Structure 1
């Protein structure tokens, strides 16, 4: 609430400068810029003084989203560069140092520094063995090097607060690095705390995104506690995606196009139950590669198989006027059944020994009994028992001079050379004698095991990875991944909105491998489709749909009339740098959600305003960021924030 409503004292606006290492596209910086902390008549105004990242397209996105200058800078040292890339650095490359960090900040000193170091080596998506290779060890060491260079760069005027964000698994895989980072902060006069929080609950997002936060508070410059951001309820994905245009709508821009998937993939997604993944397909009955209990039919539009009245006029005659693509049939009343058909001889078949009726001018099978049951046999003579096989326990037929008269027998005896060699025992049969050697292929050698799903094998993580998973419209999404795709997690949604912008082929169903955009109405009546790139950006709170679109036409016109330049700028922001959807998705998945960053910025800004106003304590119902903590001792102990 604005204090000016109760007092004439003017607001005391204090600038809070923030700087970002490993900034990516700038989600954290954008959220900090939106924060607006207030203590009494003291108001905090955040300003970003710069960001550093090695990815040039990400820096261009950073500059557009934040309005601050970004710097493309490789923070590897020489050995880390060689371990990660496997080659010598190119000509002109040099190691970055603290002076480069100060230059990237424009020579200014930040109050808050946000570090979001690369997390790929710590992520559970990377196997434990691969995370220990030289490449990812070098990437992981970048966390410690980044913290050291930042502390050295601003050692003359240390930042009041530092926040270090990463995946929760860093607390196990990177334990030795975190211990060294904590020692660095303490050596520079900071208190350090490690916690995990759900960014979805901090920012009221539609995704659950658990993250590790290491928070450092400079003991001398910031005596007050740093409180945790308040927790909020997660939203359903439908509350966010429902405010976006339908996928494929030009109003959503190029990032809202629907991926072109193979037809068989669309079918699989359609039969995955909302809220489940590919394992729900196991419950379908399949015979000869086809679904036994379900049929997919084209969703034809009005006029399909239409029949016009005799008294009505017809529609426009088209180039292809068939019964399946319009009302190109007619209910013709001029059909009188022939009197010759009163005896029901249509499709009649004459017996070989009977005379036929009169041969008329029309002799089709549908016009009378113009077919005959012909008993004549064509080809060489054959016996009834040709290729008959006699069971082992039954008698044989008469032995004749002719060939093939049941002279085969179902002999159960194993007559092959090397009886029992490499025999495969049926699952329901008894095994042979267990012998000491298996090199001969005899004895209890092998079994036909019908349980392939129970045999541990490479790729078992596929079972629980949520592949081809479909999120219900009213459910919460998981954390948006940098590699989010329909076939590697729960990255599709059961969209209940009607979409009529996709046309179905004229004559036949697509081939299994045909790539297309298809709308298949699932059993629950929704369209199971992959998240578009714009959907993921909205789930990450990188955009606010209500600022650009409205389902109410009057409201939409008011939005456009309010500030057409703002709308043009917002629509421009919807397209990240470059043309690649995979690159867009990677940068979106790596981003810190701005709404979560805004909540963190508010509590950090409040702490700074308290420190600048001379307060050392404030009564708050919010928990202190470090728990458990004894309030009476927290000021005196350096390990508390």
Structure 2
């Protein structure tokens, strides 16, 4: 007869309930005992996340701030509001009410994340946030000290093992003080849950030695999925949400262009391989993807399908030309619309002598072509002009003449400048531009009058003019041509200085900012210095994933320019009739214009960012046949909660192995064969030896 045993699980820092949803689906069986996972609730300080938790886990959630007063002040920079109080172990025990067999904690990880600069992670604000990891575990252990929780699992980012080492050491010591065996491991939630993303996480697992003697084994690894396997089941997104949270974000046009040139499977660094001159791509041009009837003088690629040939099928009315890669035939009579070189003999002229029927045009190198066809022509002085007609304008024919009579022109005095040694022409009434009334005066020497000193610069080796009361630069020669090059060589040479890579730097003084000394270096290593930084290599700003590969972990910072959050989607949305018929719709936008664009990248796919629903699907929070509702209307808030969530399939796999361990302990068994490694074994091995010795 099957015996059903309830396994109660509770969650601190529960978020939207991804971990709880996965635990509820956990399955475990040992002999005739079958586990049924029951969620007893979750605690978080985000009220919207608590409402999401209640929907996902079908259990109550409490909106409680687990900060101590000191941590609250350090994080928020102010005293807590009236009515705020520190939570105590009694509050934790009162909320969960029943005994917990499993406690799952997913404490805030922003302070440990590689996306946060290390210097900022050490500030008092993030030190307080990081301290929640230790305080949360202490509150739970102290709350159930008289009825210890059998299994505790603590989840966070892998970088906690370095940035939060001092906190982890305290957590491990605290757990061992309360009677737990502890193991620190790193796992890929994508492999545990069979996800479409690789999400490497830190897992600290603790087993109460007295209550649970059996080993706790790791979950089995599963095959991961490609991005297309997950989001390919969803409809192609558009500007309006087809499903809740399934809407393409409006990005700047320049961002769309950048995404189009990122190679699938790579990130923004592939843009460095493009040739750029004066801020423009030198090897590529960008044109709208328009209907053939809007693409006047358009040229089709050889492998493309031609548009429909209509009665208006001439070059200016659409894309009716083709880029033919085939070399032309040597025979002249096959060269439709061809041009014969000047030394060559033209083909025989037949009755079908239109330009499209052969090479009936010739490249004539003679500049004196047909006289009547020379627009904007200039006649030589010794030749007759053309017929004088009513359309005698420049541009209508050779109606200009090269007149050699320059000196004898009638109006040669207009705006004329007379040489200093020549006589001036007669001074006529008009004056101004009416004659040669300007002179090229070679006398640059200064005159001993007031006006010659205005704005004058005195040579370094001559005396300055007398300094008078009106002593401004416009009132005398009060400027000096100083040949000295400025400050002395010893003055201010370190301000904003950059030291050569091969030289030693100056002394680092108390002024440690960039402007206070030579504190910058011209480092010739463009990527070598960061090649070993794992968070840099996996950050992948503006990264585009290929359709077949697995996505990276979905963090709370998931945005198109903060990680590999774009996908080379081979599916293209339908082109609207308005776009096909409206020529204005095919104009290229300004760089900062926000819009939804479909740009076919070089690999023939559409490089686009993930929608919010697709990020949730990659996390395993929703399947193609399910709907997901989250509290609020903000995409950024949704994405942060989705990124903070524990993938339910991974949580389900962890629940399964924990459930088997609990059932095994309740059945009195202390050993179980398994093909997977043991999570917590050091104390368990000693415990088994002691039991064997006692027997």
TM-score range relative to shorter protein: 0.7 to 0.9
Mapped partners of 2:680, 2:249: distance in 1 = 44
Q: Give the drift of 1:454.
A: 3.6
The residue number in structure 2 matching 1:469 is 543
- Give CA-to-partner distance per residue, 1:212-244, whole Å, 9 cap, x none: 111111122212111001112332222212222
> Does the 8 Å contact 1:75/1:95 carry over to 2?
yes
Listed one character per residue, the Cα deviations across residues 101-147 of structure 1 (whole Å, up to 9, x for unaligned) are 12322x11121110111111222222222222221222122112111
Deviations 1:535-567 (A, max 9, x none): 21111111112xx1xxxxxxxxxxxxxxxxxxx
Q: Secondary structure at the match of 2:588?
A: coil
In the TM superposition, 1:180-329 aligns within 5 A as: 180-248=170-238, 252-305=242-295
The answer on whether the counterparts of 2:181 and 2:680 sit within 8 Å (CA) in structure 1 is no
- Rounded Cα–Cα distance in structure 2 between residues aligned with 1:311 and 1:528: 34
Alpha carbons 2:379, 2:398 under 8 Å: kept: no
CA contact (8 A) 1:192 1:214 kept: yes
- C-alpha deviations, 1:17-42, integer Å up to 9, x for none? 11100000011001111111122332
SS of residue matched to 1:303: helix
TM-score (structure 2 length as normaliser): 0.69
Match of 1:369 among 374, 397, 414: 397
Is the 8 Å Cα contact of residues 269 and 529 (structure 1) preserved in structure 2?
A: yes
Output one character per residue of 1:182-206: Cα deviation in whole Å (capped at 9) or x when no partner: 2222222221111111111111112
2:401 & 2:634 partners in 1: Cα distance? 68
Contact 1:421 1:441 in 2 (8 A): no
The answer to whether the Cα contact below 8 Å between 2:158 and 2:186 also exists between their aligned partners in 1 is yes
Cα 1:191–1:507 change in 2 (3 A) is closer
Aligned counterpart for 2:585 among listed residues 497, 506, 528: 506
Q: Which residue of 1 aligns with 2:46?
A: 55
Of 164, 168, 171, which residue of structure 1 is paired with 2:161? Answer: 171
Structure 2: runs of 5+ lacking an equivalent: 298-306, 321-353, 356-368, 407-411, 419-438, 443-480, 502-520
Of residues 657, 677, 690 in structure 2, which corresponds to 1:623?
A: 677
Aligned ranges for residues 388-407 of structure 1 at < 5 Å? none
Q: Provide the C-alpha distance between the structure 2 equivalents of 1:440 and 1:247, rounded to a whole number of angstroms.
A: 58
Larger Rg over CA atoms:
2
Matching residue within 560, 563, 576 for 1:486: 560
Whether the 8 Å contact between 1:540 and 1:594 is mirrored in structure 2 is yes
Helix, strand or coil: the match of 2:590? coil
Inter-CA distance 112–636: structure 2 relative to 1 (3 Å threshold) = farther
Supply the distance in 1 between the matched residues of 2:244 and 2:610 (Cα, whole angstroms).
14
Query: Does the CA contact (< 8 Å) of 1:347 and 1:371 recur in 2?
Result: no
Q: 303-312 or 59-68: which moved more? A: 303-312
Aligned pair 1:28/2:102, yes or no?
no
Aligned length: 537
Q: Partner of 1:95 in structure 2?
A: 86
Residue 548 of structure 2 corresponds to residue 495 of structure 1: no
SS at match of 2:245: helix
Native 8 Å contact 2:14 2:43 kept in 1: yes
> Is the deviation greater in 592-601 or in 94-103?
94-103
Name the CA distance, whole Å, in 2 between partners of 1:279 and 1:82: 41
Q: Give structure 1 stretches of 5+ with no counterpart.
A: 1-9, 315-321, 327-334, 337-341, 384-400, 405-415, 423-434, 549-569
Q: Deviations over 1:233-279 (max 9, x none)?
A: 33222221222211227564342222211111111111122222222
Q: Contact 1:195/1:626 (CA < 8 Å) preserved in 2? A: no
Q: CA deviation at 1:306?
A: 7.0
Root-mean-square deviation over aligned CA pairs: 3.9
| Structure 1: distance between partners of 2:371 and 2:23 | 86
- Is the 1:421–1:440 contact (alpha carbons within 8 Å) kept by the matching residues of 2? no
TM-score, structure 1 as length reference: 0.75
The CA distance in 2 between the partners of 1:582 and 1:540, in whole Å, is 16
Aligned runs of 1:60-209 on 2, under 5 Å? 60-105=51-96, 107-209=97-199
1:351 is the counterpart of 2:351: no
Change (3 A) 1:497 1:157: same
CA distance in 2, matches of 1:470, 1:382: 68
Mapped to 2, the partners of 1:309 and 1:482 lie a distance apart of 49
CA distance in 2, matches of 1:139, 1:86: 13
How many angstroms apart in 2 are the aligned matches of 1:206 and 1:38? 28
CA distance in structure 1 between the aligned counterparts of 2:599 and 2:403, rounded to whole angstroms: 51
TM-aligned CA deviation for residue 455 of structure 1: 8.3
Please report how far the alpha carbon of residue 75 of structure 1 lies from its aligned counterpart in structure 2 after TM superposition.
0.8
Q: Displacement, 1:166? A: 1.0
Deviation digits for residues 430-469 of structure 1 (CA, Å, limit 9, x no counterpart): xxxxx9x543979xx99999x9774899x98997542222
Distance 1:375 1:540 in 2: 83
> 2: CA distance between counterparts of 1:161 and 1:382?
102
The equivalent residue for 1:555 is none
In structure 2, relative to structure 1, the CA distance for the partners of 1:364 and 1:242 (3 Å cut) is farther
How far off its partner does 1:157 sit? 2.4
Kindly indicate whether the alpha-carbon contact (under 8 Å) linking 2:417 and 2:440 is maintained by their aligned counterparts in 1: no
Cα 1:291/1:358, change in 2 over 3 Å: same
**Contact conserved, 2:498 with 2:522, CA < 8 A, in 1?**
no
